[in-house]
Amino acid sequence: MPEPTPEPTPAPRAENPFAYSPAPQSASVAALAPSYGLFIDGEFRPAADGRVFKTVAPASEEALSEVAEAGQEDVAAAVAAARAAFPAWSALPGAERAKYLFRIARLIQERSRELAVLESLDNGKPIRESRDVDLPLVAAHFFYYAGWADKLEHAGFGPRPRPLGVAGQVIPWNFPLLMLAWKVAPALACGNTVVLKPAETTPLTALRFAEICVQAGLPRGVVNILTGDGAAGAALVAHPGVDKVAFTGSTAVGREIARTVAGSRKRLTLELGGKAANIVFEDAPVDQAVEGIVDGIFFNQGHVCCAGSRLLVQESVAEEVVAALKERMRTLRVGDPLDKNTDIGAVNSAAQLARISELAAAGEAEGAERWSPPCELPETGWWFAPTLFTHVSQAHRIAREEIFGPVLSVLTFRTPEEAVAKANNTPYGLSAGIWTEKGSRILWMADRLRAGVVWANTFNKFDPTSPFGGYQESGYGREGGRHGLEAYLNA
Amino acid sequence: MPDTATFPGPGASNAAWRAFLHGLPGVDAVGLQERAARLGTRSIKESAKGFAIDTAISMIDLTTLEGADTPGRVRALCAKAAGPEPTDRSVPRAAAVCVYPDLVGTAVEALRGTGVAVASVATAFPSGRAPLEAKLVDTRAAVAAGAAEIDMVIDRGAFLAGDYLAVFEEIAAIREACGDAHLKVILETGELVTYDNIRRACWLAMLAGADFVKTSTGKVAVNATPANTLLLLLAVRDFLAATGRQVGVKAAGGIRTSKDAVKYLVLVNETVGPAWLTPRWFRLGASSLLNDLLMQRHKLRTGSYSGPDYVTVD
Amino acid sequence: MPETKPETQPGTKPETKPGTARNGKAPGKAARAAKPARAAAGEAAAPAPAAVPGPLAVLKTYKLYLGGAFPRSESGRTYAVTDHTGRWLANAPLASRKDARDAVVAARRAFPRWSGATAYLRGQILYRIAEMLQSRGEQFAAEVAAAEGVTTEEAARLVAATIDRWVWYAGWTDKITQIGGGANPVAGPYFNLSTPEPTGVVAVLAPRDSALLGLVSVLAPVLATGNTAVLVTSHPRPLPALTLAEVLATSDLPAGVVNILSGDPAELGPPLAAHQDVNALDLTGAAPDEARDLEVAAAHTLKRLHRPDPDEDWQAAPGLARLRSFLETKTVWHPKGI
């Protein structure tokens, strides 16, 4: 069958009369304060030793605020506060806990634009995503788990499931408030109290969330927020007063945390890295597959643990798909995260930019072919153009290591068996994508892919009711849905 | 240059057509709609908005297709199309006025020298349920009366019955009857229901010689939508790549606000690009849309909102 | 898995005789031949007076169970197993790190077929194991009595409980998916289904004390959920486990699904905990002071851990915790559209 082969359209795109004017979302709704304290026992306070650090806008490299840096003493104080709050909070009827969580969900909805702007400022992600993806999911997550608080005995974890105690939670910078929601909502619903440490580079929305807890009238000590660096996170994880550790972040740190809690009675769930295969068959709905590939790797600048960073495309359509993908990549708009038309924002930190740059350079050095659409990157801030590597083999570093940036490696396969073998050929196992119009093949593939989430004819979809989490070195435990309760119950 | 002989043509069996059309890439409905919706969140401001509004005005096929249409009504519409804003000559004229065949003569006379084209629906619009001979007569009459553009409807019944050859041959016959007039082929996407059907019908029309593919008659429950228009845009993009021939797209029915019109232009801009961003290659079939565009244009220029009493009602 | 048809007549293949499965190698040590025979299963293996007349019984050689075969330890080592009073019962193989490695290879090789088998077939095979356990009830009771120092009646009760436990887990194979998975009502036009799947190769350190009921309570859930197992027996009480291997070998359980190593958990635990092709580790039989190091080693590949409840009561209803420990949840999304 002669398929129409999409070639680059002959029309020149350079002289586009329909160039979009800047459409900036005002930053003022974020209402930044010059400095923020730690949130311990219902109050904001400076670090015990008075240390502070600056949080920086990745798009401008300008300091946004000064934030208290938690030390050992602060960790101890926060754990003590959570410990003290635990008996009353866990004894509260589930229906009462539910009402607090419903309040939080509503307050987040009310303040969602403010939170979205703050998130985009601090993280660098496009406002379109923080506004249309992150914040709606954050509110939905609290709303969902609120409803569980008085139904735990029906969740399948025994007739009288009990909370674990104090949950120490450490979250990453890629979805700061969403990861907070994934951690805090089920923990509170199950009757635990929480000490949460947001990522060093993205502390602001967690602190704004602390204000929301105050507005919701949440009893003091039930939620405590400690800003700081990895040392604060390590201290929290190691603290003997913590009963449950939940971490989302890199596999390297996850491994370290697993070692730290070894031999203790602390329960542990880990949401770690990935190197997902996005598998495109020759009978795929090509246009939607191209969208799915773009969404899979360029969503959130590729700072996504479940990013479809390996495109496995059937050799018979590889040229066509790559050509269409390149055409599509030309229309991606990279720039100011607060511009409502931005598709790809800033890389979160200089360190992450260095890591992406290093791996991309390795890809070139190993012989893969590098391509990016022409795009003008801003002069200040940390940026990385959307990048495609073709002629990649399984042995290349860019096919094996998590890049956590807008870099896609394209590999080919001939048969479904080969696709499965290549997709599974990684120590990770977080997610996978399948694109084909043939239903039985989707199910056959889905059975065989070692991945906690399989998106068929779609990608990067999330929902509070849908369990998320990985196989193998992508971590253990699930977040979301009924399954997400298990991590916070003595089941 | 791709070889057009690789596609089925006149005389190809229904089986051959079926094999070809069903071999086109499938469309995932949710993904298509999601892409269209996401493009709908583009924020078009300031000079871009000004460009979009003026471009949208210039792309309008100002349409009246009522049983109660009269020469007076058509003449009023023509005046509006030629000079949408009597007090402001900087407002572009509409692309065409679209009427029933019997009113083509009136429109031609009213629009002489204005640069606004006369388009006529034909082929037993909107149902298309008439013998081919009648459709040909319908078409020839409109062309003879001076219509520069013919908006035909495809035989959805034949398409849904799998008689692709009949659909193809009818379009080809009408194409021939059009002579120099441009042929817009209305797929009536709302009756084809599935996106796979829409893509197939679109390819059938393009291969049969359509100059434009058009979403809808405006007479059924579902008319132009961002998703079905996006799908047509993807199809004309692919067709150009495969055959070297550019085909235009017309979104018709249900587009009433400037905001909607701008969204359609964003779809064009980000899928097929500027090559389609002219009235030659993209049209909006509408009637009430024009006044909303004029009001928005006023707001953009003066900073204050206009009202319906300040634009002409025709 | 090529064969997915439920086996309606399990156990029709000829029973593999323990001790004959290892290619006609030389029989046990000469020293053992001098030991008196164990007359009947019910009578434990106490050395009988030399003066007893009658034909000399054939003494059983206990072997490892590895990839469906019954080899000796590749190291050639054995250790003496005694009853609770210190009387010699038998020599058990003292498995080595290399045996552990071979067991992992066998378990990995068996995984696709076992995990890919229908739940119905897995259920039937596990039920068949219960039948085989029943038919060897007296032998197990004798071994349990000798190992645990309980009365014959108590041992019989433990065997009965063991069989019930096995039947209970056999019934879970085609139910855990429904209990542990289900449709998720996502807020969008998507089909969304979560399904539990086996984790993979599970290394199990069997409980030290409960030589049969505890053993089965840790092994059966691993198998019921579709995993394959490398099981390290109780070091002092390995004989019921080694006899269980003979049951497994005659129950249509594909080779390699269970691999049983007798030996020292302190020696076998670390290489299994560190092995990159082991997906999960059940620490039940680990000595408390060793568990931490095993967890540290397991952290390297982020193995799933089952930490024992120190007060685990093997006679109590087990609940679902052990089934859940070795399951992954896979969630599949697909758009709904026309």
Q: What Å distances lie between residue B188 and A40, B127, B198, B200, C103, CA to CA?
A: 63, 9, 9, 13, 66
pLDDT, tens only, C235-249: 999 999 999 999 999
**What pLDDT sits at residue B6?**
81
Give the separation between CA C294 and CA C281, rounded to whole angstroms: 9
Q: Which two tokens stand for residue A200?
A: 């060093």
Identify each DSSP E strand in B132-254 by its residue range.
Answer: 149-153, 182-186, 212-214, 248-252
CA distance B186 to chain A (A): 22
**What pLDDT sits at residue B87?**
87
Q: What is the mean pLDDT of chain B?
A: 95
Residue C283 has pLDDT above 80, yes or no: yes
Give the separation between CA B294 and CA B53, rounded to whole angstroms: 8
CB contact under 8 A, B30 and C338: no
CA distance C336 to chain B (A): 7
Look-up of token digits 């005659």? C250
Could you tell me which chain A residue has the CA closest to the CA of B268? A18
CB contact under 8 A, B30 and C337: yes
Residue C204: partners with Cβ closer than 8 Å, 6 or more residues away: C218, C219, C222, C229, C230, C231, C232, C281, C282, C284, C285
Q: Which residue among A158, A472, A486 places its CB closest to the CB of C302?
A: A472
Q: Which long-range contacts (CB under 8 A, 24 or more apart) does B163-166 make?
A: B163/B14, B164/B14, B164/B17, B164/B18, B164/B21, B164/B200, B164/B204, B165/B12, B165/B13, B165/B14, B165/B17
Mean pLDDT score, B114-123: 97
pLDDT, tens only, C109-160: 999 999 999 999 999 999 999 999 999 999 999 999 999 999 999 999 999 9
Give the separation between CA B268 and CA B291, rounded to whole angstroms: 22
B52 contact A CB<8A: yes
Residue C16 has pLDDT above 50, yes or no: no
Q: Which two tokens stand for residue B34?
A: 């999601």
Give the separation between CA C269 and CA C281, rounded to whole angstroms: 9
Residue A360: partners with Cβ closer than 8 Å, 6 or more residues away: A370, A384, A387, A389, A398, A403, A405, A407
CB contact under 8 A, A340 and B46: no
Give the separation between CA C23 and CA C38, rounded to whole angstroms: 25
Could you tell me which chain B residue has the CA closest to the CA of A459? B31
Q: What is the mean pLDDT of chain C?
A: 88
Please state the φ and ψ torsions of residue B272, each to the nearest 5 degrees. -100, -15
Please state the φ and ψ torsions of residue C271, each to the nearest 5 degrees. -65, -30
Stated length of chain B: 314
**What pLDDT sits at residue B270?**
97
End-to-end CA distance of chain C: 34
CB contact under 8 A, C335 and B31: yes
Q: What Å distances lie between residue C97 and C94, C243, C269, C272, CA to CA?
A: 10, 22, 9, 8
Got the DSSP string for C274-333? H-TT--EEE-TTS-HHHHHHHHHHHHTTT-EEEPPPTT--TTS---SHHHHHTEEEEEEE
Coil, helix or strand for C221?
helix
CB burial string B194-230: b at 16+ within 10 A, e below = ebbbbbbbbbbbbbbbbbbbbbbbbbeebbbbbbbbb
- Give chain C positions within 8 Å (CB) of A259: 295-296, 299
On the 0-12 / 13-18 / 19+ scale of CB atoms within 10 A, B38 is middle
CB contact under 8 A, A4 and B35: no
Look-up of token digits 């067991």? C103
What percent of chain A has pLDDT above 70? 97
Give the separation between CA A156 and CA C176, rounded to whole angstroms: 11
Confidence of residue A306 (pLDDT cuts 50, 70, 90): very high
Interface test with A, best of B43, B47, B234 (most A CBs within 10 A): B43
Tell me which residues of chain C, numbers 144 to 203, contact chain B at a CB-CB cutoff of 8 Å: 188-190
**What pLDDT sits at residue C50?**
55
For residue B140, the Cα-to-chain-centroid distance in whole angstroms is 20
Of B287, B156, B294, B151, which is closest to residue B212 (Cα–Cα)? B151
Count CB atoms within 10 A of the CB of residue C19.
Answer: 16
**What pLDDT sits at residue C41?**
41
Residue A2 has pLDDT above 60, yes or no: no
CB contact under 8 A, A263 and C295: yes
Interface test with C, best of B28, B30, B199 (most C CBs within 10 A): B30
Q: What is the mean pLDDT of chain A?
A: 96
Residue B68 has pLDDT above 60, yes or no: yes
Confidence of residue C3 (pLDDT cuts 50, 70, 90): very low
Count CB atoms within 10 A of the CB of residue C292.
Answer: 16
**What pLDDT sits at residue C51?**
60
**What pLDDT sits at residue A3?**
46
Confidence of residue B199 (pLDDT cuts 50, 70, 90): very high
B207 within 8 A of B172, measured Cβ to Cβ: no
Give the separation between CA A461 and CA B262, rounded to whole angstroms: 28
CA distance A311 to chain C (A): 18
Cis peptide before A4 (omega within 30 of 0): no
pTM to 2 decimal places: 0.93
**What pLDDT sits at residue C52?**
61
Residue B88 has pLDDT above 60, yes or no: yes
Count CB atoms within 10 A of the CB of residue C14.
Answer: 7
Got the DSSP string for C11-51? T-SPPPPTTTSSTT---S-HHHHTSPPP-SGGGTTPPPPTT
Biggest CA–CA distance in chain B, Å, is 60
Mean pLDDT score, C288-311: 95
- Give chain A positions within 8 Å (CB) of B55: 18
Q: C230: part of which helix (H) or strand (E)?
A: strand C228-232
B134 within 8 A of B165, measured Cβ to Cβ: no
pLDDT, tens only, A312-336: 999 999 999 999 999 999 999 999 9
Mean pLDDT score, B134-154: 97
CATH code that applies to domain A30-272+471-488: 3.40.605.10
**What pLDDT sits at residue C54?**
81
**What pLDDT sits at residue C38?**
41
A409 within 8 A of A396, measured Cβ to Cβ: yes
Of A18, A28, A19, A20, which is closest to residue A338 (Cα–Cα)? A28
Of C81, C91, C90, C69, which is closest to residue C19 (Cα–Cα)? C69
A3 contact B CB<8A: yes
Domains of chain B, earliest start first: 14-302 (3.20.20.70)
Choice among A69, A129, A271, A473 that is catalytic: A271
Mean pLDDT score, A278-289: 98
Mean pLDDT score, C219-225: 98
> Annotated active-site positions of B, please?
151, 214, 250
CB contact under 8 A, B193 and C338: yes
A70 within 8 A of A203, measured Cβ to Cβ: no
C283 within 8 A of C305, measured Cβ to Cβ: yes
Of A435, A437, A489, which is closest to residue A457 (Cα–Cα)? A435
Q: Which residue among B27, B32, B277 places its CB closest to the CB of A18?
A: B277
pLDDT, tens only, C21-72: 334 344 444 334 434 444 344 444 445 555 667 889 888 899 999 999 999 9
Interface test with A, best of B238, B240, B276 (most A CBs within 10 A): B238
Could you tell me which chain A residue has the CA closest to the CA of B270? A331
Give the separation between CA B187 and CA B154, rounded to whole angstroms: 6
Coil, helix or strand for A479?
strand
- Give chain B positions within 8 Å (CB) of C338: 29, 193-195
- Give chain B positions within 8 Å (CB) of A292: 31
A14 contact B CB<8A: no
CATH code that applies to domain A277-456: 3.40.309.10
Interface test with A, best of B237, B243, B277, B282 (most A CBs within 10 A): B237
Give the separation between CA C222 and CA C219, rounded to whole angstroms: 5
A481 contact C CB<8A: yes
Q: For A221-349, where are the alpha helices, taking DSSP H only? A: 230-238, 251-261, 286-298, 315-329
For residue A65, the Cα-to-chain-centroid distance in whole angstroms is 23
Domains of chain C, earliest start first: 97-335 (3.40.605.10)
